[in-house]
Amino acid sequence: MKNLPILLLLCVAACSAYPLDRSARDEDSNMDLLQDYLEKYYDLGKEMRQYVRRKDSGPIVKKIQEMQKFLGLKVTGKLDSDTVEVMHKSRCGVPDVGHFTTFPGMPKWSKTHLTYRIVNYTEDLPRDAVDSDVEKALKIWEEVTPLTFSRIYEGEADIMITFAVREHGDFFPFDGPGKVLAHAYPPGPGVNGDAHFDDDEHWTKDASGINFLLVAAHELGHSLGLYHSTNTEALMYPLYNTLKGPARVRLSQDDVTGIQSLYGPPPASPDSPVEPREPEPPAPGTLAMCDPALSFDAISTLRGEILFFKDRHFWRKTFRTLVPEFHPISSFWPSLPSGIDAAYEVTSRDSVFIFKGNKFWAIRGNEEQAGYPRGIHTLGFPPTVRKIDAAIFDKEKQKTYFFVEDKYWRFDEKRQSMEPGYPKQIAEDFPGIDSKLDAAFESFGFFYFFSGSSQFEFDPNAKKVTHVLKSNSWFNC
């Protein structure tokens, strides 16, 4: 304890002399940072340099406001601490305002099939990890557009992907570790469409360093023609660290709207009932959800939300919002199949089980659980059962009902075994439910059964149908 006072004294001497000096230096470096940031990302002309030091000059205040507004900060027009903090964050090197290239307008690819080439690699990640992340990142965009991609190994691809440090042959040298992570060029010939990643970053598969998949998905959005979004939830928001880890690599509605405004929605899948000669299919998620003929593949609750699965997508209905969100399944759970058969949530295990054919998968929130898919016969179904139509978990009894054709089985979730005495006839125990089921879920003690565009609300205690509704009645159309 003898040393303590001395340390304190030293500190008083050193610390009290320091602040003035330091704040002056901070002020200086903040002004340099501001000038650099506004020039790089907010189209501040070089002729404006003289004004930057006079922070209160009109044009600079306006630029600061523009930046604060874009990045979702409080618009003060002043270089406050939040603003300084944001300027230190890792981000994409593409400007937020103004054009990255001299090409005016909204460039987009005039073809739907594009090639890409991974020209070289970082040493931070195994090559196959980079390969698979690039593939995943492209798939995220492919899901919601008519665009398709194929990889080439030599020659000039539409999208050339490189890792480089500092000066690397364009007018935008990288800046060493931190700050600028990558940049990409909008569609067009030559360098356009290309994506460059700063190899002075520490690229990782997880969130411990800079997550490569996340940055790649963002940069490829530029390669396809998207600019930055002011929506902090969007993949195209310019700052890196508001997006947390690989679980978050998915498009927001803002990204989907953006990319579909350039390329439109994906073509209807071959097994969909839309006739090829009919007018344009409605934009997924918006018009389709209010189609009175809408049916679902499967429905499940997930942590208080309801997920309505259809082909490659699902609607996500929360009780907070009136209009459901619409997402590709793969943007949350890349290994899940499309066109699933059944899904149910076991709330006590915080798990959702997803069925397709004779396999099932388990997810927890937006994570896929290890050890899946498993065969449905491990649950105790006889070999004659090839697929499940619908499933419901009864929270109260901790039992799951599996519906297959006109029969149902009951599974004890506590004992993890199929109950004896099944299958039974659906129509006998669920009077009023006599058509083949597509989907089912439980909410507030009621069972909701879906068959085509009809929905039956069933009271399991009274053992009767209490309402007949349209399948999409949950969407407030």
Ligand X SMILES: *[C@@H]1O[C@H](CO)[C@@H](O)[C@H](O)[C@H]1NC(C)=O
Least separation in angstroms between residue 215's CB and Zn ion is 9
Cα-Cα end-to-end distance for the chain:
72
- CB of 202: closest distance to ligand X in angstroms? 14
In the complex with Zn ion, the residue whose CB is nearer, 195 or 342, is 195
Instruction: Pick from 196, 310, 317, 410 the residue near Zn ion by CB under 5 A.
Output: 196
Paired sense of beta strands 195-198 and 390-394, if any: unpaired
Q: Does 94 bind Zn ion (CB under 5 A)?
A: yes
Give yes or no: 219 in active site.
yes
Q: What is the binding site for ligand X (CB under 6 A)?
A: 119-120, 162-164, 168-169, 199
Look at residue 376 and give its three-state secondary structure.
Answer: helix
Give least dist CB 196 to Zn ion, A: 3
Complex with ligand X: residue 155 or 292, whichever CB lies closer:
155
Beta carbon nearer to ligand X, 147 or 216? 216
CA pair distance 343, 355, nearest whole angstrom = 6
Phi and psi at 427, nearest 5°, equal -60, -25
DSSP alpha helix (H) spans, 197-252? 212-223
Structure tokens at 52: 């930057």
Place of tokens 């699965």: 309
The two structure tokens encoding residue 201: 């970053």
The bridge status of strand 180-184 relative to strand 91-92 is parallel
Token duo for residue 168? 């690397």
Q: How far apart are CA 427 and CA 1, in angstroms?
A: 81
Residue 438, contacted partner among ligand X, Zn ion, none, CB below 5-8 A by kind: none
> Which of ligand X, Zn ion, none has residue 395 at its interface (CB below 5 to 8 Å by kind)?
none
The residue type at 185: Y
Give the C-alpha separation, 295 to 304, whole Å.
22
Nearer to Zn ion, 180 or 307 (CB): 180
Q: Choose the contact partner of 120 out of ligand X, Zn ion, none; CB within 5 to 8 A by kind.
A: ligand X
119 binds, among ligand X, Zn ion, none (CB under 5 to 8 A by kind): ligand X
Nearer Cβ to ligand X, position 60 or 195? 195
Residue span binding Zn ion (CB under 5 A) among the ranges 77-85, 98-106, 165-173, 308-316: 165-173
Report the residue number, 92 or 299, with the smaller CB distance to Zn ion: 92
Residues between 21 and 50 that touch Zn ion (CB under 5 A): none
Q: Closest separation between CB of residue 167 and ligand X, Å?
A: 8
Binds 92, which of Zn ion, ligand X, none (CB < 5 to 8 A, cut-off by type)?
Zn ion
Backbone angles phi, psi at 467, to 5 degrees: -150, 150
The torsion region of residue 179 among left (phi > 0), alpha (psi -120 to 50) and beta comes to left
Q: Where are the beta strands (DSSP E) in 207-268?
A: 210-211
The site partner of 32 among Zn ion, ligand X, none (C-beta below 5 to 8 Å per kind) is: none
Q: How far is the CB of 385 from Zn ion (least distance, A)?
A: 49
Main-chain phi, psi angles of 132, to 5 degrees:
-75, -30
Selected binder of Zn ion within 52, 64, 71, 92 (CB under 5 A): 92
Q: Which of 66, 143, 201, 219 is catalytic?
A: 219
Which residues are annotated as catalytic? 219
